[in-house]
Amino acid sequence: MSRFVAKSLDGYKKLYDESINSPETFWAEFSKNEFSWIRHWDSVFTFDWSKAKFSWFAGAKVNITQNCIDRHLEKNGQKTAILFEPDDPNEKSQHISYQNLFEEVNKTANMLKSMGAKKGDRICLYMPMIPELAFSVLACAKIGAIHSVVFAGFSSKSLSNRINDAKCRFLITSDGGLRGEKITPLKKIADQALELCPSIEKVVVVRRAKNEITMKAGRDFWWDALIENQSKECQVEIMDAEDPLFILYTSGSTGKPKGMVHSSAGYMVYTNFSFRNVFQYKPNQIYWCTADIGWITGHSYIIYGPLSAGATTVMFEGVPNYPNPGRFWEIIDKHKINIFYTAPTAIRSLASHGQNQLKNKRLSTLEVLGTVGEPINEEAWQWYFEHIGKHNCPIVDTWWQTETGGIMISNLANVTPHKATFATLPLPGIQVNLLDKDGRELKETDAEGNLCIKHPWPSMARTIYGDHQRFINTYFSRFPKHYFTGDGAKRDADGNYRITGRVDDIVIVSGHNLGTAEIENIINQHPSVAESAVVGYPHKKKGNAIYAFVQLKTQDQIQNFNAEINALVSKTLGPICKPEKVQTCLALPKTRSGKIMRRILRKIASNDLENLGDVSTLLNPACIDEIKENRIND
Ligand code: PRX
C-alpha cells in the first residue's frame, strides 16, 4: 500500500503537512514510484502567476495510456477494466478486461492513424456513453492526438462552435444515442453542425441506435468497417509531460465557452492520487461514477483516475429513471457495486419518487458514496445517507471544477470525517485560501469569502485553447498570485469548507455549468426581444434553475412567447439550458453606466423581495416594482 494514500485522520494530517512544507519532494516521491515513465523529469514544477504559466514534471516523457492500461496487463490482464451497462436493461452488460481494452484501444488508435491522425491533431468525440467512447478517448491519448469530447446532449450550434474553436480535423460520433425510450439523433445533429465546420476532414460513425442516417461519401465512414482489420498492436506516442492531453469546454461568463486544456503528466498524477485517496479504492472493488464522459467528472473519474489505479470502472449508457426510478439501485445490486459516485441533482430527483423504488433492492455491497457538481442540500444528503448508504457508508462530497482537473476539497472515505453539506478538507497538495473582496486573506478559521488556491497543483488546466489572455483574466487577475475559482465558501471552526455557490455569472443547473451570458445571447436573437437578463434561482430538484427576464421591443403581447424562447434555447444550446421561467418586463434594472443589475434580479427570482438593497441609485428604479409584481411564482 502506498504511503501516499492516507489511512487515518492523523495520517491525512501528516501527509497534508508534508505536501505543504515540501511540495517538490512530496510530488516527486509519489510520482516516481507510482507510475511508469519513459523518462523522468528535470524539474517537479515551475510557475509564474503573472503570466499564468505552470509546468509540472518538465522534461519527463510519458504516455498516460501505458499507465492506464499496459502496466496492468501482466498481473491483471483478465480483470474487468470497464463494465458496460447498456441503456436497455434486457441487453447484456459487457465486461471489458484490461487485455480487451488494450486491444480495442490499439485497434482504434490504428484506425485513427490510418485516417491520417497524428500527435497534436484535435479530434472531436460527440458520442453516447458506449465503450467506443472510452476506446476513442484512450486511442487519442495513445497516439498523442488531443481529444475534445462534446457532451452528446449539446445542440448542433454548440457542437460546431466547439469544433471550430479547436479546429478539429476528425469527428467520431454515432448514429444515435439511446436515452431511455428516446433516441438522440447524434449523426443528424452532427451533420447540421458540420455545415459550419470546414476543419473536419473525416467522420467516423459508430452504429448504436440503428436509426436512419445519411452518410456523406468521402467524408463519413462506419466505425465497424474501418476497425475491422486493424492490428491489435500499436506503439504509444512518447509525450512530453506538458503536451496537451485534452480540451474540454466549460461555460464562460462572456458567453463563449472556454476550451480548458489539460496536460499529460500532471493530470495523470493528480487524477490517480485523488481517486485513490478520496474513494480509498481497494483492488477488488467495483466502482461506479454515473457522470457522462462529456463532462470532466467522466474524464477524470470514469476513465483516467480509476484506470490508472487498475480499478474496475462502470460505464452506464442510460438514464436514472428508465425503465423506472429504481434503475440505479438495480444496477448496484446486479454488479455488486462498492463505490457509487453521483450528483446531488440525481439524488434529489430520485428521492422525490418516494421509497417504492427501493423495494427489493439490497444495496448491501455499497461501502462508499460520493457526490459532485453542486452543493448538496441537507435533505438530499440525509436521504442518500439513510436510504442508499443505510447509515453505513461515508459520503464523500467532492468539490472541484473542469479547470482543476481533479478533486480539490473532499473528505476521504472512512479516513477523514464527513459532514453533511460540507466538502470538508482540502486534499494533500491543495492550499486553499479565503479572500475578501479586496484580496485580503481571511486568517481566522470561521470565515466566509472567495475561494482561491494559493499554490499550483499538478492537474490544473494550463490554458484556454487559443486564448491565454482570457485564461489570465478569468482565473489569475482578480487576486494576485492565486487561482480564483469563481466560488464562494465558508470555513467552520474545524477548518471544514462548505461551498456556497458561484459568485460570478455562471449557474449550476442539475449539475451542469451554464453561462448566463450564453443563454442571454440566444434569447436576444428572438426578433421581438430588446434585451434579456438571465439569472439562477434555487430549485428543489435541479439545485438551481434559470429565470429569464426579457424586455420586448414593443409592449404587444406575443402568443406562445415562452414556448418560442424555450425552443430557441433548446435548439441552439441544448434542452438543459432552457429557462424554467420567462418573465417579460417593461425595462430591466440598470446602473447609471448601463449595466444590468443582475444582483437585484437574482433576489427577485429567489423571492427574496425584502432584501433588494438600495435601488435608488439605479437609472430606472421604477421598473423594479413592475418586475416584482409580475414575478412568476413556482
Ligand atoms: O460551483 C462549483 C460546483 O461546480 C462548479 C464546477 O463545475 P464544472 O466545471 O462543470 O465541474 C463539475 C464537476 C467537477 C464549481 O465551481 N461544484 C462542483 N462540485 C461541488 C460544487 N459545489 C459544491 N459542492 C461540490 N461538491
DSSP 593-611: TS-B-HHHHHHHHTT-GGG
**Same domain? 534 vs 433:** no
Task: Give residue ranges with CB within 6 A of ligand 1.
Answer: 250, 296-297, 372-375, 397-402, 423, 485-487, 499, 502, 508, 513
- Identify the residue whose C-alpha is closest to ligand 1 atom 25: 399
Please indicate, yes or no, if residue 311 is contained in any of the structural domains. Answer: yes
97 with 14, same domain: the answer is yes
Whole-number Å distance, alpha carbon 513 to ligand 1 midpoint, is 8
442, 538: one domain: no
Residue ranges for the chain with pLDDT beneath 50: none
Three-class SS state of 506: strand
What is d(CA 128, CA 179) in angstroms, rounded to the nearest whole number? 9
C-alpha cell read off for 225: 468497417
* The domain boundary residue, chosen from 454, 489, 524: 489
Domain assignment of residue 494, yes or no: no
DSSP reduced 3-state for 135: helix
C-alpha–C-alpha distance, residues 348 and 363, integer Å: 18
Rounded-to-integer distance, Cα 523 and Cα 562, Å: 10
pLDDT digits (tens, 9 = 90+) for 585-631: 989 998 776 678 888 999 999 999 988 877 877 888 889 999 999 99
In a domain, 503, yes or no: no
Clarify whether residues 549 and 415 are in a common domain. no
Q: What is the pLDDT of residues 252-274, one digit of tens each?
A: 766 688 999 999 999 999 999 99
The pLDDT score that the predictor gives to residue 618 is 81
Asked if residues 524 and 550 have their Cβ atoms less than 8 Å apart, the reply is no
Neighbour count for residue 250 (Cβ, 10 Å): 18
Q: Give me the residue label for grid cell 430606472.
A: 620
Ligand 1 atom 11: the closest Cα is on which residue? 401
Amino acid identity, position 577:
C
Residues 6+ away with beta carbon under 8 Å from 129: 152, 177, 292, 293, 315, 316, 317
Question: Strands 339-342, 286-289: parallel, antiparallel or unpaired by DSSP?
Answer: parallel
Nearest atom (ligand 1) to Cα of 402: 9
76 burial level (CB within 10 Å; 0-12, 13-18, 19+) = middle
Domain that holds residue 534: 510-629
**CB-count exposure of residue 153 (10 Å: 0-12, 13-18, 19+):** middle
Query: Residue 499 domain-assigned?
Result: no
618 CA → ligand 1 middle, Å: 33
Pocket mutation for ligand 1, best pick of 374, 396, 402, 512 (most atoms within 8 Å of C-beta)? 374
- Give Cα 419 to chain centroid, integer Å: 23
Q: Where are the beta strands (DSSP E) in 59-209?
A: 61-62, 80-85, 94-97, 122-126, 146-149, 170-174, 177-179, 182-184, 202-206
Asked if residue 383 and residue 477 are part of one domain, the reply reads: yes
Q: Which of 459, 489, 519 is the last residue of a domain?
A: 489
Residues 598 and 470 occupy one common structural domain: no
Give residue 16 CA to ligand 1 midpoint distance, Å: 22
One domain, residues 384 and 260: yes
Rounded Cα distance, 137 and 127, in Å: 11
The length of the chain in residues reads 634
Domain ends where: 457, 489, 521? 489
C-alpha 212 to ligand 1 mean position (Å): 37
Residue 63, judged by CB atoms within 10 A of its CB (0-12, 13-18, 19+), counts as buried
What is the CA(372)–ligand 1 centre distance, in A? 7
Atom of ligand 1 nearest to the CA of 371: 26
Residue 3: inside a domain = no
- The residue whose CA is least distant from atom 13 of ligand 1 is 373
Residue closest by Cα to atom 5 of ligand 1: 401
| Domains contained in the chain, number | 2
Dump pLDDT digits (tens) for 27-85.
999 999 999 999 999 999 999 999 999 999 999 999 999 999 999 999 999 999 999 99
Q: Which CATH number characterizes residue 522's domain? A: 3.30.300.30
Protein residue with least CA distance to atom 3, ligand 1? 374
Residue at 4 is within a domain: no
Asked whether the beta carbons of 412 and 12 are under 8 A apart, the reply is yes
Q: Which residues contact 396 (CB under 8 A, 6 or more apart)?
A: 278, 279, 341, 368, 369, 370, 371, 410, 411, 412, 413, 418
Kindly state whether residues 466 and 562 are assigned to the same domain. no
475 and 524, same domain (yes or no) = no
Question: In angstroms, what is the span from residue 485 Cα to ligand 1's centroid?
Answer: 10
Quote the CA–CA distance of 374 and 509 in Å, as a whole number.
9
CA of 153 to the centre of ligand 1 (A): 19
Are residues 375 and 435 part of one domain?
yes
Q: Quick one: 58 and 180 in the same domain?
A: yes
Same domain, 311 and 272: yes
- Please report whether residue 355 resides in a domain: yes
Whether residue 500 lies inside any domain: the answer is no
Residues 6+ apart with CB under 8 A from 476: 49, 50, 52, 482, 483, 484
> CATH number, domain at 395?
3.40.50.12780
Residue 126 Cα to ligand 1 midpoint, Å, equals 23
